[in-house]
Amino acid sequence: MTQPGQMSSTSLAEVAALLRERNALDARLGQIVGRPPEKGHLGEWIASQIFDIQLETSASRKAIDGRFRTGPLGGRTVNIKWFFKREGGLDMTESPDLDYYLVLAGPTTVVFSSRGMTRPAVIAAVYLFDAVQLLVEQRARGVKVGIFSSVVNAQWKAAEIYPTATCPALVITDEQRRQLELFAG
């Protein structure tokens, strides 16, 4: 393995070849999801398929990615996040139009450096946060609301709907569980 800053024609050629393969995969994914296959768009599409969410027509709508179509949350708005690793923070908004955050997350990690790490696109857990309740809790804790607002472990645990159901607001079905397991590491 070449150290950063060192020149290696072999490594450069290999990275170029791998990126061509990745671009071909991205093209196929983009055809399926109808948007560029970036993490945010893919997470929104996966969540929409599993949780029957009607996504917004425009991917640039502030705070809201879609609405639950059916079930106990039918008609409620949702902001969908996909974190390849759950590191404890959540991008939050103060929008009064948002009802829920639905977070698809990879494994929990406490890593101080990304050097030598990978972030595989997996789903190890799913969380459903009531946006208004979370905002109240964050303000009571004196936490800044915005990009990567600190969410404590007790809040994550209370919001978990998969694999352990501790949040009663949305109970997943056996079929949804099977679908989520397709994305396990």
Average pLDDT (161-176) is 97
Looking at the DSSP bridge assignments, the partners of residue 115 are none
**Whole-angstrom distance, CA of residue 133 vs CA of residue 38:** 29
Cα dihedral 28→122→163→148 (10° resolution): -110
Model-level pTM greater than 0.85? yes
pLDDT tens digits for range 21-46 = 999 999 999 999 999 999 999 999 99
> What CATH class has 38-181?
alpha beta
pLDDT tens digits for range 81-100 = 999 999 889 999 999 999 99
Q: 39-51 and 9-33 helices cross at what angle (nearest 10)?
A: 40
Which residue is listed with tokens 């978990």? 160
